[in-house]
Amino acid sequence: MNFDLTEEIVAMQDMARKFAEQDVLPRAKEDVFKRDLVAKMGELGLFGCAFPPRYGGVEAGFLAHSVVCEEISRADSGLRSLFNLQAMTVPYTIMEWGTEAARKKYVRDLVLGRKIGCTCFSEPNVGSDIAATETRIEDRGDHFRINGAKTWISNGTVADVAIVYGSFDRKLKHRGMCAVVVETDQPGWTPRETPKLGDKSSPIAEIHIEDVTAPKENLLGIWGEGFKVAMTALDRGRISVGSGAVGLAQACLDASVKYANERVQFGKLIGEFQLVKGVIAEMVSMVEGARLLVRRGAWLNDQGRPFTREIAIGKYAAGEAVVKAAGMAMEVHGGMGYSLEMPVEKYYRDAKLYQVGEGTANIMRLLIADDALGIKKANRPRVHVPDDFRDLD
Ligand SMILES: Cc1cc2nc3c(=O)[nH]c(=O)nc-3n(C[C@H](O)[C@H](O)[C@H](O)COP(=O)(O)OP(=O)(O)OC[C@H]3O[C@@H](n4cnc5c(N)ncnc54)[C@H](O)[C@@H]3O)c2cc1C
């Protein structure tokens, strides 16, 4: 086993860290969406780790993506939510499952930060059970017509392009699902921002969809294959979300170490008290353990090997770690943890998302336990990487 990152990945990490410290961190507490940072990340190539050059990428791989994601999240977990959509789930799903025409129209612009994307699974009555979608996608001969309602859509108020999951026949359940790329500048596409606890720089929307259309070339996969598309998108998204959890947990640890080395009580730095040391030790172990698990998932994806099980374990462990780390950071900071002057109150609010998004902690537990108990194998051959991804130029 080699735990060293390659020189190329270390260079990407350095660039991401410099960008995060100079451009993201000073504005992390501004609770607004920052379009200029999206453009800059696109220019720097930070969204392009997993993409070949012809799609605007740098082909550094999924492990590189994971490492960059961590750095962004360490500075602002809300921006990391956007990062997932822009650097992974939206363009990668179009690249993996889209027609050549759809790839040409959308992937490069998303990877370069010129267009903003969103992914639409969740609905008022549909969360973990995505195959129960009530959104209707109809084949109208020369185009698709879509009607429904989506909730909790990150980037929902700012996206130019959306991947919408729906069904052409709900009775068929999984087999009735389809995924279609939709351009949002249509009269029937109506987003409304949803107020929320954390992740304030990532706007979330509920979206009313009425007679929205998409050309035939915007179908992802084949008709009725939307569930498969969704599962691969979620696997890849879990690399980003797990990495984001590790980055935020690292930020909790960094802040706690700093404070424990500054705050004096009973004539001593609080970091000299054994009980505080115990908290720090536990945080270090959780962060490093979660990091290794998430990176293993990303690395397996780089090798073209199945990784559904491993990234579910990584995302689950990282989600648990960050929620605990955020609570521990509050503890180390005492009353100052509660203060808006300190970063940890934001970490505390942002952390909870990691037990919800891209499959809840329970859904990860189900997947992991079903595999362990021999009920359902998690690593099935559904993750395909067509050869024509490779840059032939
Ligand atoms: C900040 C944020 C951003 C988000 N961004 C997006 C986005 O961009 N696009 C998108 O489509 N969605 C997004 N979501 C929605 C998110 O994916 C869902 O919240 C998540 O999938 C869970 O669905 P739900 O909230 O409907 O919970 P439910 O599925 O209703 O679950 C409620 C509870 O029941 C548990 N539960 C459900 N089924 C089972 C089961 N079979 N066994 C055991 N326990 C179970 C869950 O674990 C959970 O604890 C976002 C959510 C948040 C909070």
Q: What is the DSSP string of 70-110?
A: HHHHHH-HHHHHHHHIIIIIHHHHHHHHS-HHHIIIIIHHH
Q: Give the pLDDT mean for 19-43.
A: 95
Contact 163, 96 (CB under 8 A): no
| Residue 277, in any domain of the structure | yes
User: CATH number of the domain that 173 lies in?
Assistant: 2.40.110.10
Are residues 62 and 94 located together in one domain of the fold?
A: yes
Q: Residue 89 sits in a domain of what CATH number?
A: 1.10.540.10
Number of the ligand 1 atom closest to the C-alpha atom of 361: 47
DSSP class of 155 = T
Residue 389: pLDDT over 80: no
Ligand 1 centroid distance, CA of 381 (Å):
25
Tokens representing 181? 């790329």
244 lines ligand 1 (CB under 6 A): no
DSSP class of 127: S
pLDDT at 382 over 80: no
Cα of 77 to ligand 1 centre, how many Å? 18
Q: Which of 88, 128, 182 to mutate to test the pocket of ligand 1 (most atoms within 8 A of CB)?
A: 128
Burial string for 177-200 (b: 16+ CB within 10 Å, else e) reads bbbbbbbbeeeebebeeeeeebbb
Same domain, residue pair 41 and 125: no
Q: How high is the pLDDT of residue 327?
A: 98
pLDDT of 391 above 60? no
Q: How far apart are CA 218 and CA 296, in angstroms?
A: 33
Looking at the chain, how many residues does it have? 393
* Catalytic residue IDs: 358
Query: Would you say residue 299 has pLDDT above 70?
Result: yes
Q: In terms of domains, do 375 and 314 share one?
A: yes
Ligand 1 pocket, 131 CB below 6 A?
Answer: no
pLDDT score recorded for residue 392: 35
Mean pLDDT to the nearest integer, 274-295: 98
| pLDDT, average across residues 37-62 | 96
State the CATH number of the domain containing residue 236.
Answer: 1.20.140.10
Cα 360 to chain centroid distance, Å, stands at: 13
Flag whether pLDDT at 9 surpasses 80: yes
Rg (the chain; Cα; Å)? 21
Distance 127 CA to ligand 1 centre (A): 5
Q: Is the CB of 128 under 6 A from ligand 1?
A: yes
Q: Tell me which of 84, 151, 152, 346 to substitute to probe ligand 1's pocket, judged by most ligand atoms within 8 Å of the beta carbon.
A: 152
Span 96-130, pLDDT tens digits: 999 999 999 999 999 999 999 999 999 999 999 99
Q: Which two tokens stand for residue 88?
A: 């992974």
Assess whether 57 and 188 both reside in one domain: no
Q: Establish whether residue 199 lines the binding site of ligand 1, counting it when its CB lies within 6 angstroms of any ligand atom.
A: yes
Q: Count of alpha carbons within 13 Å of 235, Cβ hemisphere only?
A: 27
Residue 121 beta carbon below 6 angstroms from any ligand 1 atom:
yes
When pLDDT is cut at 50, 70 and 90, the band that residue 388 belongs to is very low
Q: Which helix (H) or strand (E) covers residue 18, if one does?
A: helix 7-19
Q: What are the tens digits of pLDDT across the range 161-181? A: 999 999 999 999 999 999 999
Q: Which numbered atom of ligand 1 lies nearest the CA of 196?
A: 1
What is the per-residue pLDDT for 158?
A: 97
Pocket flag, ligand 1, residue 154 (CB < 6 Å) = yes
314 and 342 inside one domain:
yes
Q: Whose CA is nearest to atom 4 of ligand 1?
A: 152
379 — alpha (psi -120 to 50), left (phi > 0) or beta?
Answer: beta
Going by CA atoms, what residue is nearest to atom 27 of ligand 1? 127
* Structure-derived torsion over alpha carbons of residues 185, 198, 93, 371, reported in degrees to the nearest 10: -150
pLDDT of residue 385 exceeding 90: no
What does each C-alpha distance from 206 to 16, 92, 130, 209, 224 come to in angstroms? 31, 23, 16, 10, 25
Given pLDDT bands bounded at 50, 70 and 90, which one contains residue 1?
A: confident
The model's pLDDT over 179-228, given as tens digits with 9 standing for 90+, comes to: 999 999 999 999 999 999 999 999 999 999 999 999 999 999 999 999 99
Q: Residue 202 belongs to what domain range?
A: 117-225
Indicate if 82 and 36 belong to the same structural domain: yes
Q: Is the CB of 158 under 6 A from ligand 1?
A: no
Spatial separation of the C-alpha atoms in residues 305 and 118, rounded to whole Å = 27
| pLDDT score of 35 more than 90 | yes
- Six token digits for residue 169: 């026949």
Residue 1 lies in a domain: no
Determine the distance separating the centroid of ligand 1 and the alpha carbon of 169, expressed in angstroms.
23
What angle, 0 to 180 degrees and rounded to 10, lies between the N-to-C axes of helices 7-19 and 35-44? 160
Whether 257 and 269 have beta carbons less than 8 Å apart is answered as no
Q: Which of 96, 111, 126 is where one domain is finished? A: 111
Burial of 224 (0-12, 13-18, 19+ CB in 10 A): middle
Compute the mean pLDDT over every residue in the chain, rounded to the nearest whole number: 95
Residue 130 lies in a domain: yes
* Domain contains 2: no
Mean pLDDT confidence for 293-312: 97
Is any ligand 1 atom within 6 A of the Cβ of residue 194? no
- Give, rounded to a whole angstrom, the gap between the first and last alpha carbons of the chain: 33
C-alpha span between 61 and 48 (Å, rounded): 9
Residues 344 and 376 in one domain: yes
Percent of the chain with pLDDT over 90: 96
User: How far does the centroid of ligand 1 lie from the alpha carbon of residue 123, in Å?
Assistant: 10
* C-alpha 346 – ligand 1 centre gap (Å): 21
- Protein residue closest via CA to atom 50 of ligand 1: 152
The verdict on the CB of residue 102 being under 6 Å from ligand 1 is no
- Does residue 393 surpass a pLDDT of 60? no
